């Protein structure tokens, strides 16, 4: 019985907890390619690396796996903020990365913006 309880405790303790981090600033670039649905977003100045898990430390991505309507809403908001010259706050999950070509962990995925 003790071994069963110890085993369950170890399984629960070893699970990684995802955290959300928010970066804010004016948009430098919003890049869209005709050959893919991922939208790349770069802020003018970021005080620290965005995500140590992903290989690109300065650019975030609106994932191609989002439904088209959600991705379009996010893209519209990004363009409106960029045109108005206003800051945007982008929240990403620290444990997930967007793939690019053969590389599986390139850009931090945006999960929320305001």
Instruction: Convert the pLDDT of each residue in 8-19 to its tens digit.
Output: 454 444 445 568
Q: Provide the Cα torsion 103, 70, 21, 46; round to 10°.
A: 70
What is the extent of the structural domain holding 82? 20-113
Q: What is the reported pLDDT for 50? A: 77
> Is 14 domain-assigned?
no
Which CATH number goes with the domain that contains 105?
Answer: 2.40.50
> Is 27 domain-assigned?
yes
Q: What is the reported pLDDT for 14? A: 44
Say how many domains are in the chain. 1
> Is 1 domain-assigned?
no
How confident is the model over 80-97, as pLDDT tens digits?
A: 999 999 999 999 988 889
Interval 2-31 mean pLDDT: 68
- Answer whether residue 37 shows pLDDT above 80: yes
> Is 6 domain-assigned?
no
Q: Please, what is the Cα angle at 90 between 101 and 19, to 5 degrees?
A: 85
């Amino acid at each position: 019985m003790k071994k069963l309880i110890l085993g369950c405790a170890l399984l629960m303790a070893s699970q990684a907890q995802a955290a959300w981090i928010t970066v804010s600033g004016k948009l430098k670039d919003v890049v869209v390619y005709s050959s893919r649905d991922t939208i790349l977003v770069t802020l003018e100045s970021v005080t620290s690396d965005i995500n140590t898990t992903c290989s690109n430390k300065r650019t975030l991505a609106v994932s191609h796996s989002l439904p088209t309507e959600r991705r379009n809403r996010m893209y519209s908001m990004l363009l409106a903020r960029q045109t108005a010259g206003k800051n945007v706050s982008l929240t990403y999950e620290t444990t997930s990365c967007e793939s690019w070509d053969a590389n599986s962990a390139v850009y931090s995925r945006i999960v929320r913006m305001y």
